[in-house]
Structure formats: C-alpha cells, structure tokens
Amino acid sequence: MIEIRHIKKSFGDKIVIDDVSAIMQAGKCNLIIGTSGSGKTVLMKCMVGLFEPDSGDILYNGQSFAKMNGEHRKELRQQLGMLFQGSALFDSMHVEKNVMFPLSMFTNDTYGQKLRRVNEVLERVNLSGVNRKFPAELSGGMKKRVGIARAIVLNPRYLFCDEPNSGLDPQTSLLIDRLIKEITIEYNITTIVNTHDMNSVMEIGDNIIYMYQGLKEWEGSNKEIIFSSNKRLNDFIFASEFLHDAKDMRMLEARGKIGNDRDMNELLK
C-alpha cells in the first residue's frame, strides 16, 4: 500500500499539485486520470522520487519516503517496477539482456540464475522464445510485454505504469490491460497506472483518482464512475456524444429500465 499525505508541488509560481491525499491499495490497479497539465504525471514522479514534494509525505507500507536516507531509498527503489510510456527498451540489446538488466544492476545472482528468472517472466507475459530478438524486430504490443517482463523481474511490491497503452490498437491495449490486472492480483502488487485511456479505466480501474488543475477532483471505482455527478469528470470521460449516449444507456440499464420501449425511445431521440 502507498499512502499519499497532503502532497504539494510547485514549479516557480505555478502550483502543480495542491494538497493531494490518496491511498493506493495493494492487489489493485490504482489509476490516475486527467487532462494534460492536470498534475497526474508530476504526482507519479513525486511518488517514485524523481521530484521532491514541497510539503506532505508519501508512505510505503507505513514508511515515510521523506524521512528515508539515501540507502533506504535505494532499497525501496529495488521494490519498484517501472513500465514506461514508450517501453524504453535498449535498442542495442536483445530481449534477454533488456529483461536481465535490473537483475545485473541490483543482484549478485549468477548468469544461470538470472537467465532462469528472465525466462520465467517472459513466459508469464507470453513471450517465450523471443530472447534473441531485438526491439526493432518486435511489434508495439510485444515491446510493451517485454517492458512488463523487465518491470516485474525483481518481484516488485509496487508497479508504476505510465500510459501503458500509448500507441497501441484497441485489441492489443485490452491484452496489456488484462495482463497488468492479472499480474497485480497474482503477485499482490500495488499498481499505479497513469492513463488517458477510458477503456483502461472501465477495464481495470479498481481505484481511480481524477486530477484537475493539481487537485484531486474525484475518487472512486470503475463501477462508480459511470454514475458520477462531477461535471468536470463527466466532461473528461464522456467527451463525445456517442459516449454520453452510452452513459445514459448504462444508467438506465442499472436502474432496470432497459427493455422499456418508451425509455429507449426517449434515450435515442
């Protein structure tokens, strides 16, 4: 579990994060959503230590990140898995070396031990046998899965995913979402996903935080978000007329009204 307590962050005179508190739960996919400039990426960077908050604190399983010394922060970072927006694979390394990289950085395992672990995680993401392929030989979805394999190779307690479906087609995006969800549950990881993808919100959003101009504007689950009365959130999610109609239909369905011809005719006017 990660607890965010009253985090504030400014750059010059601009307040980017303004007194945000939240709890990121273990074994669940915790999504941070919002428009560009809402502060969601800065919040994630504060959580992993790339930015120091001006005030507030972040607790990893009850331990204050602000109070950790350099050695303790290094130990914590070994428990963090990162899936980057563009996968961030090393072009000059084949898949095996890319996935093995964290093991070489943070463990004293033998090559044989590292190779066994690499093969385990590649099998877990359904990429057995691609060890000697280079990133240029992989599809976008395969690169994402290699990125996931590298992110979980150290058995992290926390997994951070920055726009994991960026640049992927809808079918591949769904595959990546479900893989992230499965791994989160299987290993009881605290997973944080920064995303614009509303399909991801509805598919894996166990806990969703909506950011607006540096503030936490709304928090809830993917089962609750469809019924939100928050105008800014609704404008963000249901940006098209088609999605507005879909929301209305789902709300009628939830209230047991689908099947009533009069209600359907009213909806579809």
CA-closest candidate to residue 158, choices 133, 132, 183, 140: 183
- Structure pTM? 0.85
- Tokens representing residue 241 in the block: 């007329």
The residue extents of the domains of the chain are 1-79+156-227, 97-154, 238-269
Q: What is the pLDDT of residue 268?
A: 38
At 39-72, the pLDDT tens digits run: 999 999 999 999 999 999 999 999 999 899 988 9
What does the H/E/C string look like for 20-76? EEEEECCCCEEEEECCCCCCHHHHHHHHCCCCCCCEEEEEECCEECCCCCHHHHHHH
| CATH code at 1-79+156-227 | 3.40.50.300
- Helix, strand or coil for residue 190? strand
pLDDT at 220 over 50: yes
Mean pLDDT of the chain: 88
Cα–Cα distance, 1 to 23 (Å, whole number): 7
Mean pLDDT over 103-122 rounds to 95
Spatial strand order of the sheet with 2-11 comes to: 14-24, 2-11, 55-60, 63-64
Handedness of CA 13, 40, 210, 167 (dihedral sign): positive
